[in-house]
Amino acid sequence: MKRLCAWMLALLMVLPMTAYAAEDADTAHKIGVIFYGKDDALGQCVYEEVNHAAEVVGIEVEWALGDYDTESQLTSVENLISAGCEGIMFMPIEDASAQKVGQACEESGIYFAICFRDILDSGIKSYVESCEYYVGSCWEDDKGAAGDLVSVLAEDGRSVFGLEKMNPSIALAVRNDGFAEGAEAAGAEIVAEYEVPNDGNSQTHINGVTNFLNLYPDMDGILMTTSSQGAAEAIVNTVKQNSEVGKVKLAMFDLYEGIADDFAAGWVAAAAAGNSPDALFVFLALVNAVDGTPLSDSFINLSQKEVIVTSAEECADYEKYIDNPEYQIYSDEMIQNLVGRYNPDVTLEDYTEIMEAFSLDWVKENSAQ
C-alpha cells in the first residue's frame, strides 16, 4: 500500500512538469499573475478585470492563486517562468516575498510589477527598485484611508478606540500606523488592541472584543485593519450581543456580506472598500514593458485612492459598480488607450489622470455599461 502511494505521489509530481515543458512559439505574450485567491469579492474582481483586459489587449494570462506565504509565492513564480511567462504581476504577502520573487524574475530576465502593496523595508525596497526588470507598483493608500476612517468616527464625536491590529510583520501593517496617526491627529486614543489570528479562529475576535467592552466601558469605537476570514462577522456579532446600537461603532477595512444592513442599523460607521483597479493599471503597465513600449525609463509608482463608504446607499453603489466582478469599470477603448500597441502616444500621465479621477461618483457617471 505504501509503495502504491509512493508511486502515485511520484507520478503526480512528475506530470505537472511535462505541462510546463512544452513551448509554443506562436502564442501571444504571456503574463503570470500571483494573487492570494478569488474566493472573496476583491479577488473575483481582480480576476475578472485582469482576464478581461488581457483579452482586450491580446495577452495570455497564467494565474497562480492561493499562496499565503513567501515560499509558496516563490514556488509559483518559478513555475510561471518555467511556463513561459514574460512578465509577472504579484501581490507580495510580505516584504521578503517582494525581494525573493523580484530576485527570481530579475535573474531570469522577466519583467515584474507589484500590485496592492508598498514595500516597507527600506533595504528590500532599494533592492527591488534597483532591478532592471522592475516595472513598478501600484498600491492603495492604506495609511490615508485609515486616517479617513478615524476621521469619520471622530466627526461622530468618538474618541476612545479599540484596535483589531494586523501582524506587524506583514505589508498590511501600514494600516496599524495609519490608525495610530489618525487617532493622534483627531485627538482620540487607542486604549486597547489585539492581533488578528493567523489561524482565522473567530474565538480570538470574540474574546478580544468582549475584553474591549468589559474592560473599557468608555470605548465608543473599534478600528479594524481587516474584515476578512470571518473577522467582521465575529466582531460585529459580538458587539451586537454585548452592547447597544450607537454606543460602539465600527470602522474597518474591506466590506463583508451584510454590511449594508449593519450600516442601516447603525453598527458600522465607515468602511474602506478594497479597490480593484490597482491590479488593472499595474497589469497594463507590465504589458507595455513586455511589449517593448514601457511607460518610463525607470520604475513607476502609482497610488490608488480608496473609496470610503459611510452608508448603506453608498454600499449598494459600490457593490454595483466597483465590487462587482461582472461589471467592467473601464471600457475596452479606455483599456486599449493605456497600451502602447493600440495607442503609441500613451504616457504615464494618462495613467495618473485616470486613477486620480477614480471615485464612486466618477464610476457612476462614466459607467462603461
Partner 1 sequence: MQAAKKYVKNYIVMFLVTAAMIALLMFFAPATRSFTTLLSLLKQGIAPAILGWGVLFNIKAGNWDFGVGAEVLIAAIIGGNIAKMLGMGIAGVIVCCMVVGFAAGTVSGILYRLLRIPTIIISIAIMLIYESICGIVFGGKGVSLDLSYLVLSHFPGNVLMWIAGFLIAYILFFKTRIGYNIKAVGSNIKIAEDNGINVKRTKALALSIAGLFAGLYAAVNVGSSGAVRTVSAMGTMGTCFNAMMCVFIGLSIVGGGNIFIAIYFGAVVMQMIQMALMVFGIPTQYSQVVVAIFVIAFMLFSTNAPEIRENIRRKRHGGSFPHLAQ
Q: What residues from 213 to 232 belong to the interface with partner 1 (CB under 8 A)?
A: 214-216, 228-230, 232
CA torsion angle 259 264 267 271 (round to 10): 50
The DSSP string of 136-170 is EEEEE-HHHHHHHHHHHHHHTT--EEEEEEPPTTS
- Find out whether 198 and 228 touch, Cβ atoms under 8 Å: no
Q: How far does Cα 308 stand from its chain's mean position? A: 15
Q: How far is the CB of 206 from partner 1 (least distance, A)?
A: 6
Closer to partner 1 at the Cβ: 68 or 313?
68
Q: Please select the residue that binds partner 1; options are 3, 5, 13, 344, rule is CB under 8 A.
A: 5
CA distance 89 to 102: 10
Q: Please select the residue that binds partner 1; options are 62, 156, 193, 291, rule is CB under 8 A.
A: 193
Looking at residue 40, its amino acid is D
Q: Does 205 bind partner 1 (CB under 8 A)?
A: yes
Bridge partners of 308, per DSSP, are 272
**Judged by CB under 8 A, how many residues of this single chain contact partner 1?**
45
Site string for partner 1, 10-49 (x = CB under 8 A): ---------------------------x-x----------
CA nearest 272: which of 177, 141, 114, 182?
141
Q: What residues from 70 to 89 belong to the interface with partner 1 (CB under 8 A)?
A: 72
Q: Does 195 bind partner 1 (CB under 8 A)?
A: yes
Closer to partner 1 at the Cβ: 109 or 168?
168
Task: Tell me the helix, strand and coil percentages in the chain, rounded to 5.
Answer: 50, 15, 35
Enumerate binding residues for partner 1 (CB under 8 A).
1-2, 5, 37, 39, 66-69, 72, 165, 168, 192-195, 197-203, 205-208, 210-211, 214-216, 228-230, 232-234, 236-238, 240-241, 257-258
